[in-house]
Structure 1
Amino acid sequence: MKEKFAKFMAGRYGTDRLNQFMLIVLLVCAVINMFIRNGYVSILLTSWEILLIVFIYIRMFSRNITKRYAENQKYLTVENKVRHFFGQKKYIQQQRKDHHIYTCPNCKQKIRIPKGKGKVSVRCPKCGTEFVKNS
């Protein structure tokens, strides 16, 4: 049986990060659908679940590897942008414990100043503009 499945999958795309993401969305829809008592929402979620299952299988068993690879690359670029955005927000929140973060009035560059130093003159490393802020 294992050999038959391996022979069947030869030349097919298989699974990737986009399929894994769609599977997670499918599971979330299924869990939400279990707790929703509204008929219209339940029908909508069930139709989304069916579409996701069909799309996952179409991508997994596809022989057009270049097209599936391009779809996955587009997804990965979006995922990386989202991860970078939230990682940056997390880093800024961690820095706020010990530093003030100001923006340059001229070029909008973010500048990190240690807390507890009183009034300090800040020079922007990007444009050289000086301004005074409380730390």
Structure 2
Amino acid sequence: MNQMREQFIRFMTGRYGADKLGKFLTATAFILFVAGLFIKSPWVDLIAVAVLLVSYYRMFSRNIRRRFDENQKFERFCFAIAETFRKWRFRLQQSMKFHIYKCPGCGQKIRVPRGKGKIKIHCPKCNTDFIKKS
């Protein structure tokens, strides 16, 4: 058993290995295989096999620079999506606690707490005062 492990380690030397994109592709292939059990379409299984082959090709590739660049693009894409949801969640949380009004003078957004009745709002940018209901 130990000899097989050493042979595998020698085989993987100089190869790219698993990364976040590879794990995502493997998980996608697994999900497609499971979906293929219910959908009963050969195309789903064919796509799952293709995705799995791409994942293994990336793992065993010796072109480390190119695989690294692919993974970096995937990481940036994932970050952009996560950041969009994070901003949406933050705005939702803020809208439950605060009203956001625009200053009629300069258009600056001003955040005021909800439930305070009619209040006089002072714009810190242009020093305009206006009254709104919070």
> Normalised by the shorter chain, which TM-score bucket?
0.7 to 0.9
Pair 1:26-2:25 in alignment: no
2: distance between equivalents of 1:107 and 1:74?
39
| Percent identity of equivalent pairs | 40
* TM-score, structure 1 as length reference: 0.80
Equivalent positions of 1:1-135 (< 5 A) are 1-37=4-40, 42-102=41-101, 111-120=110-119, 121=121, 123=123, 128=126, 132-135=131-134
Task: Output the aligned Cα RMSD.
Answer: 2.5
Q: Which has the larger radius of gyration?
A: 2
How many residue pairs match? The answer is: 129
Q: What displacement does 1:101 show?
A: 3.6
> What is the DSSP-based 3-state SS (H/G/I as helix, E as strand, rest coil) of the residue aligned with 1:93?
helix
> What is the DSSP-based 3-state SS (H/G/I as helix, E as strand, rest coil) of the residue aligned with 1:31?
helix
Deviations 1:96-133 (A, max 9, x none): 3322244667887654321012234263x6x6485654
Unaligned runs of 5+ in 2: none
Over 6 Å off, 4+ runs: 104-109
Q: What displacement does 1:78 show?
A: 0.5
